[in-house]
Homo-oligomer: A and B are copies of this chain.
Amino acid sequence: MIAARLQSEPFDSAIVQAALLAGRTDLGAAVAFTGLVRADEGLVALTLEHYPAMTLAQMQAIAADAAVRWPNTIGTIIHRHGRLLPGDSIVLVVTASPHRAHAFAAAQFLMDWLKTKAPFWKREEWADGTTRWVEAKGIDDAAAERW
């Protein structure tokens, strides 16, 4: 089971990981990936727009796909929306598995698919008052293609 959550509030990765591992005795490996707002020179804020009716459903579909590919792996994915500041956390992917290779692979798969399949759009606000929509990166498509 890989659960998905969509929220504007911050998350605490330690609490999420502890909740995921609680009561399980067969897990030898946990991977927690955190995506952060990089404080690129002059960046004031990042706003994540999303598609309310579709985004969580898409996250759940990606999670279900990962759970089929790695049946022994459990996880939680959390994606924030709204206005975030440099250094803030954007996304959390926690996976846990009997063996580390599966925990790493599932976490990378989930991140690659969140980057290319979850309907979020990032708008940057700069110190000079301009705003800019972040362009999708070919490298993210390439990363998602490998699965």
Contact = CB atoms under 8 A, between A and B. Distances in A.
Interface string A76-106: 0000000000110000000000101101100
A29 interface: yes
Contacts of A38: 25-28, 98
Contact of A32 (B12, B13, B35, B37): B13
A3 interface: no
Give the interface size bracket for A toward B.
20 to 34
A26 B31 CA distance: 22
A34 interface: yes
A104 B143 CA distance: 13
Nearest to A34: B30
Nearest to A26: B38
B143 A25 contact: no
Interface in A23-67: 25-40
A65 to B, nearest CB: 19
Contacts of A21: 36, 87
B100 A35 contact: yes
A26 B39 contact: yes
Contact of A33 (B29, B35, B98, B143): B29
7 contacts: A17-B34, A21-B87, A25-B39, A26-B40, A29-B33, A30-B36, A33-B104
